[in-house]
Structure 1
Amino acid sequence: MNHVLFVDDTRSADAAFGFGVNAMELLINGLLRLGADRRTLRAKVFGGARMIDGLSDAGLRNAAFVRDFLETEGIVEVGNDIGGTSARRVEFWPGTGRARLKYVSQEVPLRSPERTEKKDVELF
């Protein structure tokens, strides 16, 4: 499993995409060393959400990078969940190829100041 995150088109964007390619190559080569057959590799692609309104749609560009990479390498994409506005949590079982996706709530509960109590911190 790899996670790629490219956020913008700055001067360092080309280097960041190079890191993405490197991570994908390391994953594939690691699988091949463990006995995988390149012709039978399959991929599932998750993510690419637009998490914050008004910012660039970097998520879809990240997904496009992964899908282009897979196509170039001849790796079949057998499933995906791309886009939207919600964060995802992906659980993956490499032995079977099974993946489970859960959408993550973006709401963060705020504590009111009057309910906040000062407590000592114990470090161990």
Structure 2
Amino acid sequence: MNPALSADKRVHIIQGEFFVSADRDVMVTTILGSCVAACIRDPLAGVGGINHFLLPGNLSTARNDEAERMGVHLMELLVNGLLKAGARRDRLEAKLFGGARTMRAHSDIGKKNADFAQRFLQAEGISYAGGSTGGLQGRRIQYWPVSGRARQIMLTGPTDTELPARLPAESVDSNAGELELF
């Protein structure tokens, strides 16, 4: 599913969506908790894209309404979308974001999502160029698909009240809330 492009060339995607572009001025945003976003591009073709998935998933056991939120489905849609836009598989590079442990009472789905995404990249021969996964906080991601530039802004706290709202002061870096990768 490709969301519509707004007038200022900023696109916001939500869970279950992906977006591919060859427009250098487009910036895509998403907000992640335990979900993962894969930002993948072909630097020579000048095309890139991003997805946002909820569960690593297995299409053979998924109900039809669940499939679109699953990582395996969205990773395949993103890679195929890039190939259709002129990318070559052997030149793809990826950054991964998200996968936070947002609720202590449940299994660590964020870690499962991040681990799945790493395995997918490895199995598909897609180069891993960095990113940020894990932790206890959600993230806002800004991604420029053509240049591969990514910016991460950490959200102010976990979503589960059982987890601490803040890390102890001695472990917080004043610049820890923002990360920019080129």
TM-based fold match above 0.5:
yes
In 1, Cα distance between the equivalents of 2:93 and 2:71?
A: 18
Other-structure match for 2:154: 103
**CA distance in 1: counterparts of 2:60 and 2:105, whole angstroms:** 20
Runs of 4+ in 1 over 6 A off after TM superposition: none
Greater share of helix residues, 1 or 2?
A: 1
Could you tell me which amino acid in structure 2 is paired with residue 6 of structure 1? L
> Percent of counterpart pairs with the same letter?
45
- Cα distance in 2 between the residues matched to 1:78 and 1:14: 31
**How far does residue 107 in structure 1 lie from its aligned partner after superposition?**
7.5
- 2:135 aligned with 1:84: yes
TM-score of the superposed pair, with normalisation by structure 1 = 0.74
**1:33: Cα distance to partner?**
1.1
- 15, 36, 39: which one aligns with 2:87: 36
Once the 2 structures are TM-superposed, how far is the Cα of residue 72 of structure 1 from its aligned partner? 0.4
Q: Indicate whether 1:65 and 2:116 are aligned.
A: yes
Give the distance between the partners of 1:44 and 1:76, measured in 2 at CA. Answer: 9
- Residues 34 and 107 (structure 1), Cα distance of their counterparts in 2 relative to 1, 3 Å cut: closer
Query: Which protein, 1 or 2, shows the higher relative CO under an 8 Å CA cutoff with sep ≥ 6?
Result: 2
Higher radius of gyration, 1 or 2:
1
More strand by share: 2
- The 2-side partners of 1:96 and 1:80 are apart by 15
Q: CA deviation at 1:17?
A: 7.3
Structure 1: tracts of 5 or more residues without a match: 109-124
- One-letter amino acid of the structure 1 residue matched with residue 54 of structure 2: L
Alignment of 1:26 onto 2:77: yes
Q: Could you list the per-position Cα deviations for residues 40-63 of structure 1 after superposition, in whole angstroms to 9, with x for gaps in the alignment?
A: 100001111111222210100000
Q: Is the 8 A contact 1:89 1:102 kept in 2?
A: yes
Q: Label 1:35 to 1:20 Cα distance change in 2 as closer, same or farther (>3 A).
A: same
Is 1:5 matched with 2:54?
Answer: yes
Aligned length: 105
Q: Distance in 2 between matches of 1:80 and 1:13?
A: 29
